[in-house]
Amino acid sequence: MVPEPVLETAEILSLLDTLRSSIQQERRCLRDEREAFDDFRSRLESIEPTKPDHAAGVTQPLQVERTVGLDSVRNAYESTVMSVPHYDAEYGDTYEQSVTEEFGPEVGLLLTEGNCFDQRLKTALREKTRQCRRERDQFLQTLEIEADSVGAVENRLRPITDELRTFSPECSGTESYGALEAEWNRLRLLATKVDRIAGDRQTAIKRQRDVFNLTPEAPDIPTYLYRDFEDNYPLLSALVDIQRTIEAYQSEREYALSER
């Protein structure tokens, strides 16, 4: 059986360019969000907390008018965090959904259904905002790991695909035993190199999980970044395709050697 041709270098480079583009786009989004949370925190500091009206001996009514502070927080949040260029396309949620997702259910409930922006809520919101910024910084670190990994794969893979193109998919029958054996050994060396690249790639993915403290059920960084691809691990899949081509080339040489 004639082996399928190896992925052309142009295909590999196109894939790598697309992956780099995805990484760069995510970087821009994270930087925009980080800046937005910084702006929100600055505006938050200018919003004065209100003391709850707990008159002695007086039972508060079930419905109490919201203080202006909560509306000011909402305006600040909507004009910063919810106004980043990619917000609607990436999230598209409401204020209530967003603050609950970013700040947690307790703070989210106080912001959306509470009636007073008091000092306790301001302190909690200030810390939650810092946490959101730290998360963006941490994710940017994992993207640096991903960018380095993609770049390393490209540098190591290019000479392999170039060399593979020097092999004929089929043996012509005129090669000597020694020439076939030499080709098989060259292919074995290439297979070893691809195995090492794949192993390092898997190590980089694991490192990303460790840096970002992802839980076992959470999607890893490639799954999140390359969600528009048919395969969640397009680079590993390309390496598998190249390895299969090498194995097919080796099988062709083994068969030819057995016929000598």
Count of domains in the chain? 1
Q: In angstroms, rounded to a whole number, what is the distance separating the alpha carbons of residues 221 and 232?
A: 10
CA distances from 125 to 85, 131, 205 (A): 24, 10, 33
Give pTM, 2 decimals.
0.80
Domain-located, residue 4: no
pLDDT, residue 11, reads 82
Domain-located, residue 2: no
Domain-located, residue 1: no
Q: 161-207 pLDDT, tens per residue?
A: 889 888 888 887 778 899 999 999 999 999 999 999 999 999 999 98
Q: In angstroms, rounded to a whole number, what is the distance separating the alpha carbons of residues 204 and 123?
A: 38
SS3 171: coil
Q: 87-131 pLDDT, tens per residue?
A: 999 999 999 999 999 999 999 999 999 999 999 999 999 999 999
Q: Is the pLDDT of residue 54 over 70?
A: no
What share of residues in the chain are helix, strand, coil (percent, to 5)? Answer: 70, 0, 30
Domain range for 43 is 9-52+63-258
CA distances from 237 to 23, 31, 125, 244 (A): 18, 30, 43, 11
Domain-located, residue 58: no
SS3 163: helix
Domain-located, residue 251: yes
Domain-located, residue 250: yes
